């Protein structure tokens, strides 16, 4: 699809839909400046960006992040209220009957493997860490089912330690933006960390994921309604007609529910519906 030079309507107003000139290869310096500008724009578009898993303490975030493999944050959030009511602490979960635990987490898929991870990590927390989630990456990755991605989510959001979380949305968008060509999440993490100051890492991760869920979708990115289109080398990979693009938006300010049943204060959208509950009104 070809880019047009006219303005497009976006959730934030009108932006120029001009495709950036790509005749000469972009220097590293220019890419870094463009990347930081995208981050600043995303901060304005999503000032309320936040982790989209519901949690009240580090243990709940750790468990929710393990459950989020191969499923949506929404499905995890719909599953964890009953799980945490039954097993509020690592000690409680470590003593769970495996079949009961499997049944509670069944909606998140891969429930046998996830149940083994949860039992293993709860037992390790109980036996090795005094029932507390450790706040260091080298300790977190020793827990069953916990890799760097999970550890970074927990450190960034429950302990305030800066970290980049490379999930499917993050990897897709940063490759579209030509911030990296790497596919391996650890290499992506290292390259993106080198572009931004540490203080930006955690919020950048949330903003990018917010943009991936709402506008820059995997199959049909809504380019014609994208506020950062002028900064995006992939403009035109998706729908560029502003009216058609607008229909592709999954945007809380457009009245759509978010992923969290208990969104943080200041979130401008609707809470997600509980499991089996009626969808939130639009």
Q: Which residues bind ligand SF4 (CB under 6 A)?
A: 176, 215-216, 221-223, 226, 228-229, 232, 234-235, 237-238
Tokens of 169: 């949305």
- Consult the annotation and say whether 226 binds a ligand: yes
Helix 58-67 × helix 111-128 angle, to 10°: 150
Residues labelled catalytic = 149, 167
Q: What's the min distance (Å) between Cβ of 3 and ligand SF4? A: 9
- Consult the annotation and say whether 193 binds a ligand: no
Q: What's the min distance (Å) between Cβ of 211 and ligand SF4? A: 7
**Exposure pattern of 34-47 as b/e (b: 16+ CB <10 Å)?**
bbeebbebbeebbe
For ligand SF4, which is the closer residue by CB, 121 or 188? 188
For ligand SF4, which is the closer residue by CB, 49 or 153? 49
For ligand SF4, which is the closer residue by CB, 164 or 225? 225
Q: What's the min distance (Å) between Cβ of 248 and ligand SF4? A: 9
Bind-site residues for [4Fe-4S] cluster: 216, 223, 226, 232
Bind-site residues: 216, 223, 226, 232
């Amino acid at each position: 699809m070809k880019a047009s030079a006219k303005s497009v309507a976006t959730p934030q107003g009108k932006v120029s839909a001009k495709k950036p000139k790509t005749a000469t290869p972009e220097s590293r310096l220019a890419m870094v400046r463009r990347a930081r500008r995208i981050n600043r724009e995303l901060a304005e578009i999503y000032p309320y960006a936040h982790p989209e898993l519901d949690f009240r303490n580090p243990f709940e975030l750790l468990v929710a992040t393990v459950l989020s493999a191969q499923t949506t944050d929404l499905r995890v959030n719909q599953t964890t209220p009953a799980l945490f009511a039954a097993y509020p602490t690592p000690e409680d979960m470590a003593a769970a009957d495996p079949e009961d635990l499997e049944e509670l987490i069944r909606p998140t898929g891969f429930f046998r493997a996830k149940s083994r991870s949860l039992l293993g990590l709860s037992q390790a927390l109980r036996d090795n860490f005094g029932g507390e989630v450790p706040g260091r990456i080298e300790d977190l990755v020793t827990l069953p089912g916990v890799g760097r991605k999970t550890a970074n989510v927990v450190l960034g959001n429950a302990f305030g330690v800066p970290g980049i979380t490379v999930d499917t949305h993050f990897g897709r968008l940063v490759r579209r933006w030509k911030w990296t060509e790497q596919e391996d999440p650890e290499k992506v993490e290292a390259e993106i960390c080198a572009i931004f100051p540490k203080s930006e890492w955690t919020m950048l991760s949330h903003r990018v994921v917010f943009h991936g869920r709402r506008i820059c979708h995997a199959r049909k990115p809504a380019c014609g309604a994208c506020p950062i289109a002028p900064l995006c080398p992939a403009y035109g990979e998706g729908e560029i007609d502003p009216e058609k693009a607008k229909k592709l938006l999954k945007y809380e300010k457009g009245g759509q529910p978010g992923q969290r049943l208990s969104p943080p204060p200041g979130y401008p959208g609707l809470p997600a519906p509980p499991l089996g509950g009626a969808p939130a009104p639009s």
